Amino acid sequence: MNLEITLAQSVAEAIKQLYGAEVGIEKIQLQKTRKEFEGDFTLVVFPFLALSKKRPEETAQEIGECLKNNLPIISSFNVVKGFLNLAIAPSYWVELLKHIDTTEKWGTTPITEESPLVMVEYSSPNTNKPLHLGHIRNNLLGYALSNIIAANGNKVVKTNIVNDRGIHICKSMLAWQKWGDGETPASSGKKGDHLIGDYYVAFDKHYKAELSELMEKGMSKEEAEAASPLMAEAREMLVKWEAGDKEVRALWEQMNGWVYEGFDETYKRLGVDFDKIYYESDTYLVGKETVLGGLEKGIFYRRPDESVWADLTGDGLDEKLLLRSDGTSVYMTQDIGTAQLRFRDYPIDKMVYVVGNEQNYHFQVLSLLLDKLGFSWGKGLVHFSYGMVELPEGKMKSREGTVVDADDLMDEMINTARETSEELGGKLNDLTAEEKAEINRIIGLGALKYFMLKVDARRNMLFNPKESIDFNGNTGPFIQYTYARTRSIGRKAAEAGTKTEFTAPESISEKECNIIRMLNEFPAVVRQAGTDYSPSGIANYAYELAREYNQFYHDFSILREENEETKAFRLLLTDNVGKVIKTAMNLLGIEVPERM
């Protein structure tokens, strides 16, 4: 029941009838009528003037009359220069509402055996620190994007690559050895990722003190950094790790285990998950093998110092280091290794990397290298590049302990939701403490997620917790409240024994028609969000639908409507607004409460 296709086919038939010419529907330009004009759809008639051999206004008038005479769903039309504005009969919108109501999972495309497989990588944490505000944006974007891609009929595998090796990991390990006194998550009462993050900060604190002391003795900053005993110990630990030293590896496994337990708790609370987790401690060796294989095939070359490079100057880029002269790998090598493992594990058709925009060049290079190495999806990989989250105080710095911790932020959002609900007065008074806490959790996290996702992902954003939880305006709680309102109306109708058997009313208002138009647009919104990789498109659609419904709710009676047919119609409309809001918010990974 696709209205646009029906209209396009009817226009093609009208042109054939009027001018004796065949026109493919792909050449028929239909768009939503602009708000300042009357109508639902606008046909651009300029492409048909060569067929009609008449002025634009006359051509539009003839096509409009032909459509109105032959297509019952056209109630009226008007002509503005070379544009034909078509108004759809209210009866059609009523039938469309019935169709939406009976269509399971309206707006989404089912997944079949033949569906392409898209892999989405997001999160990519380091095991030397807990997840922070920047990780929250990454995880929310990646999870929402995965849902949207799946809603467009694709199989999706959600993956995470954990940076669990390198000098930064050794810094936390060394600091714990020196100053930890055997402290564990159990003995300290801290989450494992927080505990290890504290030692990363402690290393930086002692390292800076050491540099200051060396510089006071007359060394330059560069000389002090080169002479630092603490940094030398960290590097020595990394060498031992790479050599497989049993003691270093045992400590590494123990401390990383603490971190993973902490990560899992944060992920669960944030409502994101993964189908497969990869670890750089596994992938970097595979990357080295793959690069050396490319070297043998002549794809890469070796310099006199034994380092291995890729020459991409013929592709408009530069030369890229893949293996250092001592044989150690770089990030690019690890990404190649991860790609190799993934390609072995899954029949990937498309790969999407959710990584910040500071890595744009990295992924340009990676795409070319994977293509040269023979990965079928290499050239077409998608770098879902997003902007950074900024704070009023400036940029975050992990090693200085000035980040906004993800767990602390979620606590703050839930507490703010509780305070805001209490200020609004006793709507939840009849609920138990546990039920209130659950609703406040849903509202607080919904506010956080929506605020992160409503902004075009490519833009940097300024995060403002207080603004995000406002119950009015373009916020998660406003949309959640609208959903809860639709559910409340449904409950009250059921309690009152209201007749809900649907019979088309004699007439419906323009506001009601407009809400059905918006419900009808939802599949196209989902498709566009999938094409553009844009969760913000779904978010802003949900807000516009909620706003339109609330205006209707304030202007029209529903439960107090005296005409039973009209009441039943408005209840059906209300129920489907709730259904679509819930689907849209779930695509974003946002829960909606049954009451607020």
Under 8 Å between Cβ of 433 and 439: no
- Residues 77, 190, single domain; the answer is no
- In the predicted model, what is the mean pLDDT of residues 22-34? 91
**Residue 591 pLDDT > 50, yes or no?**
yes
Within a domain: residue 309?
no
- In the predicted model, what is the mean pLDDT of residues 319-331? 90
Within a domain: residue 279?
no
Sheet arrangement for strand 83-88: 30-32, 41-44, 83-88, 74-80
- Residues 411, 535, single domain; the answer is yes
Q: How far is CA 201 from the centre of its chain?
A: 31
- Residues 432, 527, single domain; the answer is yes
Task: Indicate the pLDDT class of residue 1, thresholds 50, 70 and 90.
Answer: low
- Residues 450, 553, single domain; the answer is yes
**Residue 460 pLDDT > 80, yes or no?**
yes
Within a domain: residue 310?
no
Task: Report pLDDT for 471.
Answer: 77
Question: How many distinct structural domains can be found in the chain?
Answer: 3
Within a domain: residue 325?
no
Cβ partners under 8 Å of residue 200, min gap 6:
128, 129, 168, 171, 172, 175, 398, 399
Q: Tell me the CB-side half-sphere exposure of residue 263, using CA atoms within 13 A.
A: 26
Within a domain: residue 207?
yes
Higher-scoring residue by pLDDT: 395, 86? 86
- Residues 60, 162, single domain; the answer is no
- In the predicted model, what is the mean pLDDT of residues 369-373? 95
CATH of the domain at 560: 1.10.730.10
Task: Report pLDDT for 428.
Answer: 75
Task: Report pLDDT for 504.
Answer: 79
Length of the chain: 596
**Residue 427 pLDDT > 80, yes or no?**
no
Task: Indicate the pLDDT class of residue 242, thresholds 50, 70 and 90.
Answer: confident
Under 8 Å between Cβ of 256 and 127: yes
- Residues 511, 424, single domain; the answer is yes
CATH of the domain at 22: 3.30.1360.70
**Residue 227 pLDDT > 80, yes or no?**
yes
Task: Report pLDDT for 426.
Answer: 63
Within a domain: residue 446?
yes
- In the predicted model, what is the mean pLDDT of residues 282-292? 93
- In the predicted model, what is the mean pLDDT of residues 131-135? 92
Q: CA 542 to CA 548: how far, in whole Å? A: 10
Q: CA 193 to CA 266: how far, in whole Å? A: 10
Cβ partners under 8 Å of residue 375, min gap 6:
339, 343
**Residue 90 pLDDT > 80, yes or no?**
yes
Task: Report pLDDT for 399.
Answer: 45
Higher-scoring residue by pLDDT: 571, 500? 571
CB count in 10 Å sphere of residue 493: 20
CB count in 10 Å sphere of residue 556: 15
Structure tokens at 48: 């048909």
- In the predicted model, what is the mean pLDDT of residues 440-444? 95
- In the predicted model, what is the mean pLDDT of residues 207-213? 95
- Residues 450, 559, single domain; the answer is yes
Task: Indicate the pLDDT class of residue 425, thresholds 50, 70 and 90.
Answer: low
Question: Judging by DSSP bridges, how do beta strands 276-279 and 155-162 pair with one another?
Answer: parallel
- Residues 430, 540, single domain; the answer is yes
Task: Report pLDDT for 390.
Answer: 77
Within a domain: residue 389?
no
Q: How far is CA 427 from the centre of its chain?
A: 32
3-state helix, strand, coil in the chain (%, to 5): 60, 10, 30
Range of the domain at 433: 406-587
Task: Report pLDDT for 12.
Answer: 96
Task: Report pLDDT for 502.
Answer: 75
**End residue of a domain, out of 226, 243, 274:** 274
Mean pLDDT of the chain: 93
Q: How much is the CA Rg of the chain, to the nearest whole Å?
A: 30
Task: Report pLDDT for 422.
Answer: 81
**Residue 73 pLDDT > 60, yes or no?**
yes
Task: Report pLDDT for 513.
Answer: 93
- Residues 429, 573, single domain; the answer is yes
Task: Report pLDDT for 398.
Answer: 43
> How far is it between the farthest Cα atoms of the chain?
95
**Residue 402 pLDDT > 70, yes or no?**
no
Q: For residue 157, is it left (φ>0), alpha (ψ between -120 and 50) or beta?
A: beta
Under 8 Å between Cβ of 124 and 355: yes
Task: Report pLDDT for 275.
Answer: 98
Within a domain: residue 282?
no
